[in-house]
Chain A
Amino acid sequence: MSTGLVYLTSGSLAANASQLVFDNVFSATYQSYLIMGRFTTTVNQGVLARLRSGGVDNTTASSYRNQYYIGNGTTVAAQRVESDRWDFFSVNTAGANGFRTVITNPFTAKPTFFYTENQRSDSNIYIIDYGSNHSASTSFDGIKFYTVGNDLTGTIRIYGFRNS
């Protein structure tokens, strides 16, 4: 009996925390990873992310590319952004927020890309989906999630998809 999905690590934030760092989580063992998170907050805000190598954030300008769309009631809007960090998911003060992401090639020396499905709020749900990449052909072993607005409470879990 074998498994296709392997638990790797998790991290939690208590109230008033603003960042969650995972180092040495990406490796040559897995090409793709599942990341799942669940958060509450007292501040409506986007949660940002940067890839890391050797304990250092990559901050290359315009290397992080986001294309995303938002469904809210009967309105759908979309946007494309290039920056020195990703918009990874978004949280709202109205209840629980969740996301699931498949990220591919973070450790491989090729561009990294991911797809995130993000449910923001539980009483006034927003659908926010991100299709994103990092343009550099760089090997990264970690990722940092952080906020500007502070106060994020919840857990992120990371799983690896077996290559073979």
Chain B
Amino acid sequence: MKLLQGFGGFAGQAEFIPNAMVLLNETDVTSASTISFDNVFSSTYDNYLVVASGVAVTQANSILIRMRLAGADNTSTQYIRQSIDQSGAVTSSRGSLTTSWTNAAFWEASLRNAFSITIFDPAKASTTSAMTRNPYPNQNMVQYYLSHYVGVAYDGFTVIAGTTSLTGNFKVYGLVNS
């Protein structure tokens, strides 16, 4: 018998296969403009996947992300973004350096928005990088590759919805190192 188990599984069975993607945090958000996740990043995992689903916002808005340590956002001007926007037959590219990962996603009002982001090495005192793809509800597609290079080991992050209010579900997963 092959058992596929996560944490709390039955080591000692005939074949034990540990879960490679571990759910670290699940948060349901209701009518919030800012959502912070503390103590989700640690030395246990190098890389993480964050999934937001069923997200409803009160008005269309770009979503910002900031890295976080000990309950405080890092607001230095060291967040870099490179994006490729695809709309019909038109493709464009742009880069920016700001105080957050701007436009990490764009969510439309009156729709159930979703996105996922892979974050590399946030808990290491080195560059944090991230990749995300955001299918716009109006059928555009935007991909963002992000970096933040202050050399700080972070334990969390903040999602900033700006002038809108959002409701939805967020899950943070760690990808096992070995």
Contacts and interface: CB of A to CB of B under 8 A. Distances in A.
Contact of B121 (A1, A5, A38, A159): A38
B131 A3 contact: no
Interface string B83-98: 1100000011111000
Contact of A74 (B5, B93, B131): B93
Contact of B6 (A3, A72, A98, A129): A3
B143 A127 contact: yes
Q: Which of A75, A122, A162 has the most CB atoms of chain B within a 10 A radius of its CB?
A: A122
A28 interface: no
Contacts of A52: none
Interface residues of A, number: 34
A162 B127 contact: no
Contact of B46 (A38, A73, A75, A125): A38
A32 interface: no
A38 B126 CA distance: 12
Given A73-B95, A122-B80, A3 B19 contact: yes
A7 B18 contact: yes
Interface of A: 1-7, 10, 36, 38, 69, 71-76, 95-96, 98, 100, 117, 119, 121-123, 125-127, 129, 155, 157, 159, 162
Interface of B: 4-6, 8-9, 17-21, 46-47, 80-84, 91-95, 118, 120-121, 126-127, 129, 131, 143, 145-147, 149, 175-178
25 contacts: A3-B18, A6-B20, A7-B18, A10-B178, A38-B46, A71-B82, A72-B93, A73-B82, A73-B95, A75-B93, A76-B93, A95-B127, A96-B126, A96-B149, A117-B145, A119-B82, A119-B129, A119-B147, A121-B147, A123-B80, A125-B147, A126-B82, A155-B46, A157-B177, A159-B20
